[in-house]
Chains A and B, each alone.
Chain A
Amino acid sequence: MDKFTVLTAVAAPLPEENIDTDKIIPARFLKTTKRSGLGVHAFDSMRYRPDGTENPDFVLNQEPYRKAEILITYDNLGCGSSREHAPWALLDFGIRCVIAPSFADIFNNNCFKNGILPIALPRDVCTQLMEEARQGANSRLTVDLARQVIVRPDGQEVPFDVDPLRRQLLLEGLDDIGQTLQHEKAITTFEQRRAKAQPWIPHIVLD
């Protein structure tokens, strides 16, 4: 996983609520056994017309948003399926940070696990950031994770909250399996205690 420290980038405004994971990456593109290569299908139904050509009205098909690394939307971004293909598709497109008033829980988790920073901000702040983002290339945002601020084009700073453990993992680019395995002894102790207390819990063994 790539570290996330300071990101200065173009932000794409997508003023919609309830953008579901089927919209971010439709199910027919989930038949891959890899994590990479999904960027071309990100937002497929919004980005392409039925004949496969680009829809010029869609923000990510416009300059400078083709190179956007920040996406701003309204409430409940990433609702629906648990598919991690959604953050994989965003990441492969180039998105490293998503800003919205709220996120669906599983999508929020999946972002952190892939080096994408989800930032929850009040709806009116999202609206302001979207308006600034519409100014295009001269209107980049800087997201500073260590300081937990977004620096707006005029230099004003917007503070944000992030879970301390997740912040640390992002700053260092660490995956959490290694972290958890440092607690392996506690897991083993738990298993032994439980096997004694609830011996009826069956093991799944097929004939």
Chain B
Amino acid sequence: MAPRTLFDKIWDSHVVETLPDKTAILYIDRHLVHEVTSPQAFEGLRLSGRRLRHPDATIAVVDHNVPTSDRTLPIEEADSRNQIETLERNVREFGVPYFPLLSARQGIVHVVGPEQGISLPGMTIVCGDSHTSTHGALGALAFGIGTSEVEHVMATQTILQKPAKNMKVVVEGQVGPGVTAKDIMLAIIGHIGTAGGTGHVIEFAGSAIRDLDMAGRMTICNMSIEAGARAGLVAPDETTFEYVRGRPFAPKGEAFDEAVAYWKTLASDEGAHYDRVVELRAEDITPVLTWGTSPETVIPVTGNVPDPASEADPSRRAQMQRMLDYMGLEAGQKIAGTPVDVVFIGSCTNSRIEDLRAAASIAAGRKVAPGVRAMIVPGSGIVKAQAEEEGLDKVFLEAGFEWREAGCSMCLGMNPDRLTPGQRCASTSNRNFEGRQGPGGRTHLLSPAMAAAAAVTGTLTDVRELI
């Protein structure tokens, strides 16, 4: 057999049947369900009298809409409450396993899946959410899908898809101080652009990727979608196996050993073909952030905002100027020193315990700058409890941060955590689109350590000055 990539191997092992036009009926091992993109799918099943084929391969959780304040109080926003109650009715009716709001296991679906050992290497995983790419960090093929596909998976445990192209992004070398997985991924997106991965699955490789812990790999794969890719992947290795070992829903004992033996066969073969290869040197990557309203607008924190006059194409030039106007920035200005109103540390990109530790190491012994609202939103109830056990909550509270309950929160502002028009936010989330964190809100994407640095200085700041 010709040498195959990690993607090829997972794909091949899940093809149920290939249709004449090369569309595959692809078997799905795990379906993650949340309250926002599932109601119409459950309704579709009900209307067509279809059953949900595999409740035992499905897990539901509420995350997008949920308040991150006191959970014992009723949910104030009626339409959010309705979506949550609708999910609860649907999981009862179709027998889907569910982590309710008051469970410690509740959290952001892409934090919960790996944390519980529900997402495992070699699997195919889907969810009605584009950041499903996160689970690729385990060496699983994980796609974000729309609601029609959610219904298709519920009814058939498969999706219809043509094979993606293979792309490899290699980052060799060792990153400098203050440079995190988030900086690596933003640098990659800045390099290849938001459509750079369209039609491809990206495998991340090289020593700088292998050196990352699982949280870092999840940050990288999470934002594959911001590079336009269908999915992101990291080959499973000892770091992966140690992470998975002992998780609640992972195989145990002999079954685990058997699984590891299989997972070890998944790494790409020597000489496997990639349609595109991109190489970056870790040493060239500095702490970065975004200046505009597209995740590809990445500059070093020591850099300057670009000048639209340098763009030859008139429609692109106009679009750049609109970004500057929206963001309230001047062409050519230094980005560091720009005052922020809000700091958000959370989201499926950066809300794991490792992210909170990185933020706490900067916040410790310092105070949130006057007039800045700084919030920490852990990725799950389990992450929150772990952080409290380590005393991180006290570090944050003493510094003047808010310590909140788990959920998607201000990443997309579906719950009450929103920016008001004109507010500038240093955010560890994944998208800086216009209005993403609230109408008129201005988002700068950066790492948890850089976000904490912005909180304590009150401005966009090079975290290396605080290490």
Q: Which residues of A contact B (CB under 8 A)?
A: 15-18, 20, 22-23, 26-28, 30-35, 45, 50, 74-76, 79-84, 87, 102, 104-106, 109-110, 113-114, 163-165, 175-177, 180-181, 183-184, 186-187, 190-191, 194, 198-206
* Complex CA distance for A110 and B152, rounded to whole angstroms: 12
The answer for the CA separation of A105 and B230 in the assembled complex, in Å, is 7
Specify which chain A residues have a CB less than 8 angstroms from the CB of B436 in the assembled complex: 22, 27
Q: Are B433 and A20 within 8 A (Cβ)? A: yes
CA distance A104 to B123 in the complex (A): 24
- Provide the residues of chain A in CB contact with B225, threshold 8 Å: 80
Inter-subunit contact A45/B251 (CB<8 Å): no
Q: Which residues of A lie under 8 Å from residue B43 when comparing CB positions?
A: 33
CB distance from A25 to the nearest CB of B (A): 11
Find chain A residues with CB under 8 A from B37 CB.
82-84
Q: Which residue in A31, A110, A199 is a CB contact (below 8 Å) of B148?
A: A110
Interface string of B309-320 (1 = CB under 8 A from A): 000000110010
Please state if B414 and A34 are interface contacts (CB–CB under 8 Å): no
- What residues on B are CB-neighbors of A23 within 8 Å? 433-435
Residues of the B chain whose Cβ atoms lie less than 8 Å from the Cβ of A17: 315-316, 319
Q: Is the CB of B40 within 8 A of A82?
A: no
Contacts A34-B40, A82-B129, A105-B198 known; list 18 others, CB within 8 Å.
Answer: A31-B79, A32-B79, A33-B82, A82-B132, A87-B146, A104-B228, A109-B146, A109-B149, A110-B148, A163-B162, A165-B23, A177-B151, A187-B16, A187-B27, A191-B157, A200-B259, A201-B29, A201-B123
- Chain A CB within 10 Å — which of B130, B412, B421 has the most? B130
Contact between B412 and A31 (Cβ–Cβ < 8 Å)?
Answer: no
- A48 shortest CB reach to chain B, Å: 10
Complex CA–CA separation, A80 to B421 (angstroms): 22
CB of A22 within 8 A of CB of B435, answer yes
Check if B86 is an interface residue, CB within 8 A of chain A: yes
* Interface pairs A-B: 10 shortest CB-CB: A113-B148, A33-B39, A84-B146, A31-B79, A200-B255, A110-B146, A203-B56, A82-B144, A82-B130, A84-B147
Task: Chain A residues near B56: list those with CB within 8 A.
Answer: 203-205
Q: Which residues of A contact B195 (CB under 8 A)?
A: 18, 75-76, 79, 102, 104
Please determine whether B149 and A102 come into contact, CB atoms closer than 8 angstroms: no
Nearest CB of A to B240, in Å: 16
CB interface residues, B 137-161, toward A, < 8 Å = 144-149, 151-152, 155-158, 160
27 pairs of residues in contact across A and B, judged by CB atoms under 8 Å: A15-B315, A16-B319, A20-B294, A22-B431, A23-B433, A23-B435, A26-B435, A33-B83, A45-B439, A76-B195, A76-B228, A79-B195, A81-B130, A83-B37, A83-B146, A84-B128, A102-B195, A104-B198, A105-B228, A105-B230, A109-B145, A163-B21, A165-B23, A176-B152, A177-B151, A177-B152, A187-B27
Question: Quick check: B194 and A79 within 8 Å, CB to CB?
Answer: yes
Interface residue B36 (Cβ < 8 Å from any Cβ of A): yes
Interface 0/1 of B71-87, CB less than 8 Å to A: 00000010110110010
Contacts of A203 on B, CB cut-off 8 Å? 56-57
In the assembled complex, the CB of B294 is this many whole angstroms from the nearest CB of chain A, namely 5
Chain B residues with CB under 8 Å of A186's CB are 16-17, 25
Q: Give, as a whole number of angstroms, the nearest-CB distance from A141 to chain B.
A: 20
A interface: dominant SS: loop
CB-CB under 8 A from B211, the residues of chain A are none
Give CA–CA (A107, B97) in the complex, Å. 29
Q: Name the CB-closest residue of B to A163.
A: B21
B-to-A contact residues, CB < 8 Å: 16-17, 19, 21, 23, 25, 27, 29, 36-37, 39-40, 43, 48, 50, 55-59, 64-65, 77, 79-80, 82-83, 86, 97-98, 117-118, 120, 123, 128-130, 132, 144-149, 151-152, 155-158, 160, 162, 194-195, 198-199, 225, 228, 230, 249-251, 255-256, 258-259, 262, 294, 315-316, 319, 412-414, 421, 431, 433-436, 439-440
Indicate if the CB atoms of B435 and A45 lie closer than 8 Å.
yes
Given the known A-B contacts A186-B25, A187-B156, are A200 and B413 also in contact in the complex, defined by CB atoms under 8 Å? no
Complex Cα gap A205–B56 (Å):
6
Contacts of A200 in B (CB 8 A): 251, 255-256, 258-259, 262
State which of A79, A82, A194 has its C-beta within 8 Å of the C-beta of B145: A82
B155 x A177 contact (CB < 8 A): yes
Chain B residues positioned under 8 Å from A177 (CB to CB)? 48, 50, 151-152, 155-156
A82 and B128 within 8 A (CB) = yes
B131 CB, min distance to chain A CBs, angstroms: 9
> Which residue of chain A is the closest to B82 with respect to CB atoms?
A33
Q: Give the contacting residue for A22; candidates B21, B251, B433; CB below 8 A.
A: B433
Write the chain B residue with the least CB distance to A101: B195
Residue of B nearest to A105 (CB): B230
Instruction: Return A131 CB to nearest CB of chain B, in Å.
Output: 13
Residues of B within 8 A of A84 (CB): 37, 40, 128, 146-148
Asked if A198 and B151 make an inter-chain contact with CB atoms under 8 angstroms apart, the answer reads: no
In the complex the two chains form, is B294's CB within 8 Å of A18's CB?
yes
